[in-house]
Amino acid sequence: MRISIIGAGFSGCALATELARAASSDVDIQLVGVPESFGRGVAYGEARPEHLLNVRARDLGATADHPGEFADWLNLTERARTTFLPRLVYGEYLHSRLNAASQLSLGGFNRIAQEAIAIDREGPAFRVHLADGSDFDSDRVVLTVGALPPQPLAGIGPRLAVHPSYIAWPWQNGLDGIGAIDHIAPNQRVLIIGTGLTMADVVATLHRRGHRGPITALSRHGLLPQSHTDEPAAPIALPPTVLHAINTHDLRELVRALRALTPIVPDWRSLIDALRPYLQGFWRGLPSPQRAQFLRHLRSHWEVLRHRLAPTLSREIEELRVRGRLRIRAGRLLRARRTGEAVEVLIRERGFSHASREEFDVVVRATGFDTDVDRTSHPLIAQLRDSGLITADPLGLGIEASTKYEALDGSGAPVRGLYALGPLLRAQLWEITAVPELRVAARALAKQLLSSQERQASVGIRRGMEALARP
């Protein structure tokens, strides 16, 4: 049996490693990914030295039964295990694990540094088409493409959209091979759209490069990610009020219980962390209207509490704010266009009915990852959607899938042999974008894929025996 994994970031590498360690000699593994970030993904392949992990080193092992493997790989001291290391280092760790797994594999282990652009159903199997024009067949396909490309930003004028003063993705390279963000002059006025983790990385990079001009970061709510503590907070157990709200899938009651607990617990971070093991089950049982309510009213607040900054980066951001170099604003970008030597923007701040006209030299989009399959420009995901092999979640949270990670078609039936792992499964699991949840899911899916191979083999043996027994 041939299993093809489409996407060579964390999810793809974790799944490939789990399969390589457990598969028999009659299983071929194909890991397909874009050359620029193969084996590391966008998060770790395009990172810069100043970009830090937002999880402590001790918790970032890529296998479910050895969460300390990353720290062990680096031979860290006990104190260093609780620190937040550069993301580039983690990319090297993933690459090293992948190399080791390919050597341990009993069957075939092929790494294809090409972008997959289409997948067609051919009987019980699939044909995968690559960007170089080649193709191959596969019995099973797993979509581990990670986050989808950002959608076009509303309000960006056509002239600005193709001008160097608009950077649609901070880490893209220009025609000269130099990073787009490196072309920003030290004194230029910068407007960043987004105030989350990507914005923090952009600010860190500008600061390291000696940028002195004013920086404005704009988002709908103007919320900054909160900071981790320097030392890990002590874990806590959830009280009955919270557990009852979780078990009854009552969003309103859960929010009420958490608000009551926040002033009591020593550190609210421990409360957020204690929720994580329960969140996938809670989300699965949450009715669609309550999911929509959460996304509309609570998502932004949850994200800044759940996805936190490394303490050193948080202090750097705060220092820039105190010095007046960085301004965080809540509002909407209504329009941005190129006029003369500047970018003219219209911003309506939150709570105001009138817009203000302002000028900047550069606009940088830093809105984070996207999972809206209905509106995506991702060539493979758009092709699968249009062919009916996958169905977009109506709330924009990836694809519809079964509890076994199988993609569902337009009629709600599982597409046998087509699976997904990672952010595409947010509609079913919500918490499926970080290492602790992904490594558990990768092991579960690997076991499922290999058990299906064993069932397929037993059926083949039985049919062969029946054929031999016929007169």
Q: Is the dihedral of CA 376, 393, 197, 31 positive or negative?
A: negative
- Among 45-54, 355-364, 394-403, where is mean pLDDT lowest? 45-54
Assess whether pLDDT exceeds 60 at residue 284. yes
pTM comes to: 0.92
Q: How far apart are CA 412 and CA 254, in angstroms?
A: 30
pLDDT at 177: 65
CATH number belonging to domain 2-149+371-461: 3.50.50.60
Percent of the chain with pLDDT over 90: 83
The order of strands in the sheet holding 116-122 is 116-122, 125-130, 135-138
Burial of residue 300 (CB within 10 Å: 0-12, 13-18, 19+) is middle
Residue 169 carries which side chain, given as an amino acid letter?
W
Percent of the chain with pLDDT over 70: 95
- Are both 2-149+371-461 and 158-227+308-365 of the same fold? yes
Residues 374-390 have pLDDT tens digits of 999 999 999 999 999 99
Assess whether pLDDT exceeds 60 at residue 434. yes
Q: What share of the chain is helix, strand, coil (3-state, %, to 5)?
A: 40, 20, 40
pLDDT at 175: 64
Assess whether pLDDT exceeds 80 at residue 459. no
When pLDDT is averaged across residues 258-270 and rounded to a whole number, the result is: 93
DSSP E strands in 252-389: the ranges are 326-339, 342-349, 356-360, 362-365
pLDDT band of 455, cuts 50, 70, 90 = low
- CATH fold of 158-227+308-365: FAD/NAD(P)-binding domain (3.50.50)
CA angle, 15 then 16 then 19, to 5°: 85
Find where tokens 């940028």 sit: 211
Provide the residue ranges of all domains of the chain, joining segments of one domain with +: 2-149+371-461, 158-227+308-365, 240-306
Please state whether 391 falls in left (phi above 0), alpha (psi between -120 and 50) or beta.
Answer: beta
Three-state DSSP at 462 gives: helix
When pLDDT is averaged across residues 48-64 and rounded to a whole number, the result is: 95
DSSP-derived pairing of the beta strands 215-219 and 406-408: unpaired
Average pLDDT, the chain: 92
